[in-house]
Protein backbone atom coordinates (compact mmCIF):
# COMPACT_ATOMS: atom_id res chain seq x y z
CA UNK A 1 0.00 0.00 0.00
CA UNK A 2 1.69 3.20 -1.21
CA UNK A 3 -0.67 5.61 0.60
CA UNK A 4 -0.29 9.13 -0.79
CA UNK A 5 2.24 9.64 -3.56
CA UNK A 6 3.37 13.04 -4.81
CA UNK A 7 5.31 13.73 -7.97
CA UNK A 8 7.72 15.30 -8.58
CA UNK A 9 9.77 15.48 -5.37
CA UNK A 10 11.76 18.52 -6.46
CA UNK A 11 11.30 21.13 -9.14
CA UNK A 12 12.92 24.41 -10.12
CA UNK A 13 10.91 26.83 -12.26
CA UNK A 14 11.61 30.19 -13.75
CA UNK A 15 9.18 33.04 -13.13
CA UNK A 16 6.25 32.78 -15.50
CA UNK A 17 6.58 29.07 -16.20
CA UNK A 18 3.77 26.65 -15.50
CA UNK A 19 3.67 23.23 -13.95
CA UNK A 20 1.38 20.62 -12.46
CA UNK A 21 1.92 18.71 -9.25
CA UNK A 22 0.33 15.29 -9.09
CA UNK A 23 -1.07 13.62 -6.01
CA UNK A 24 -2.31 10.04 -6.06
CA UNK A 25 -3.83 8.03 -3.21
CA UNK A 26 -4.72 4.36 -3.17
CA UNK A 27 -6.82 4.33 0.01
CA UNK A 28 -10.15 5.15 -1.66
CA UNK A 29 -10.36 8.38 0.33
CA UNK A 30 -13.07 10.90 -0.49
CA UNK A 31 -11.28 14.01 0.70
CA UNK A 32 -8.04 15.40 -0.70
CA UNK A 33 -6.09 18.54 0.13
CA UNK A 34 -3.18 20.65 -1.02
CA UNK A 35 -1.15 22.53 1.59
CA UNK A 36 1.92 24.70 1.31
CA UNK A 37 4.49 24.97 4.07
CA UNK A 38 6.77 27.96 4.56
CA UNK A 39 9.16 28.60 7.47
CA UNK A 40 7.31 30.00 10.46
CA UNK A 41 3.95 29.81 8.68
CA UNK A 42 2.91 26.27 9.41
CA UNK A 43 0.75 24.48 6.87
CA UNK A 44 -1.66 26.61 4.87
CA UNK A 45 -4.51 25.10 2.91
CA UNK A 46 -4.52 26.00 -0.78
CA UNK A 47 -7.43 24.00 -2.20
CA UNK A 48 -9.31 20.91 -1.23
CA UNK A 49 -11.81 18.44 -2.64
CA UNK A 50 -14.65 16.61 -0.94
CA UNK A 51 -15.13 14.14 -3.76
CA UNK A 52 -14.51 13.34 -7.40
CA UNK A 53 -15.35 16.28 -9.63
CA UNK A 54 -15.48 18.82 -6.79
CA UNK A 55 -12.97 21.40 -5.60
CA UNK A 56 -13.03 24.29 -3.15
CA UNK A 57 -10.77 27.14 -2.11
CA UNK A 58 -8.74 27.06 1.05
CA UNK A 59 -6.85 29.82 2.87
CA UNK A 60 -4.40 30.77 0.11
CA UNK A 61 -5.88 29.79 -3.29
CA UNK A 62 -4.63 32.68 -5.45
CA UNK A 63 -2.25 31.68 -8.21
CA UNK A 64 -3.22 28.01 -8.07
CA UNK A 65 -5.79 25.82 -9.78
CA UNK A 66 -6.81 22.25 -9.02
CA UNK A 67 -8.70 19.41 -10.59
CA UNK A 68 -10.13 16.14 -9.28
CA UNK A 69 -11.20 14.25 -12.38
CA UNK A 70 -10.61 10.87 -10.75
CA UNK A 71 -11.21 10.00 -7.13
CA UNK A 72 -7.65 8.86 -6.58
CA UNK A 73 -5.93 11.88 -8.14
CA UNK A 74 -5.74 15.54 -7.15
CA UNK A 75 -3.74 17.88 -9.37
CA UNK A 76 -2.34 21.26 -8.38
CA UNK A 77 -1.49 23.66 -11.18
CA UNK A 78 0.57 26.82 -11.28
CA UNK A 79 -0.21 28.73 -14.48
CA UNK A 80 2.43 31.44 -14.12
CA UNK A 81 4.88 30.72 -11.33
CA UNK A 82 6.10 33.52 -9.07
CA UNK A 83 8.99 33.57 -6.56
CA UNK A 84 6.38 33.87 -3.76
CA UNK A 85 5.28 30.34 -4.65
CA UNK A 86 8.62 28.90 -3.62
CA UNK A 87 7.58 26.46 -0.93
CA UNK A 88 7.15 22.85 0.08
CA UNK A 89 3.82 21.49 -1.12
CA UNK A 90 2.06 18.66 0.67
CA UNK A 91 -0.88 16.68 -0.55
CA UNK A 92 -3.09 14.87 1.94
CA UNK A 93 -6.16 12.68 1.90
CA UNK A 94 -8.71 11.54 4.44
CA UNK A 95 -11.48 8.97 4.53
CA UNK A 96 -14.13 11.45 5.57
CA UNK A 97 -14.24 15.12 6.43
CA UNK A 98 -10.88 16.21 7.79
CA UNK A 99 -12.23 16.92 11.23
CA UNK A 100 -13.24 13.37 11.94
CA UNK A 101 -10.61 11.22 10.33
CA UNK A 102 -6.83 11.61 10.16
CA UNK A 103 -5.08 13.21 7.24
CA UNK A 104 -2.54 11.07 5.43
CA UNK A 105 0.22 13.14 3.90
CA UNK A 106 2.48 12.57 0.95
CA UNK A 107 6.22 13.16 1.19
CA UNK A 108 6.02 16.64 -0.27
CA UNK A 109 7.27 18.51 -3.33
CA UNK A 110 9.95 21.14 -2.89
CA UNK A 111 9.40 23.86 -5.46
CA UNK A 112 11.79 26.72 -6.13
CA UNK A 113 10.82 29.59 -8.40
CA UNK A 114 13.67 31.80 -9.56
Partner 1 sequence: GQQVMQIPQYQHVQEGEDFTTYCNSSTTLSNIQWYKQRPGGHPVFLIQLVKSGEVKKQKRLTFQFGEAKKNSSLHITATQTTDVGTYFCAPYNQGGKLIFGQGTELSVKP
- Measure Cα distances from 42 to 52, 72, 90 in Å: 27, 26, 12
CB neighbours (10 Å) of residue 47?
Answer: 23
- Of 1, 40, 62, 69, the one binding partner 1 by CB under 8 A: 40
Per-residue contact track with partner 1, 15 to 34, x per CB under 8 A? ----------------x-x-
Closest CA to 113 of 10, 1, 15: 15
62 binds partner 1 (CB under 8 A): no
Among 61, 63, 77, 98, binds partner 1 (CB under 8 A): 98
Q: How far apart are CA 94 and CA 35, in angstroms?
A: 14
Interface residues with partner 1 (CB under 8 A) are 31, 33, 35, 40-45, 48, 50, 56, 58-59, 90, 92, 94, 97-100, 102-108
Amino acid sequence: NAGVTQTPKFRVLKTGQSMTLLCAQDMNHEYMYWYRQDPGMGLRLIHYSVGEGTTAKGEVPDGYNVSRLKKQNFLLGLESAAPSQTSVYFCASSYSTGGYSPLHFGNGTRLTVT
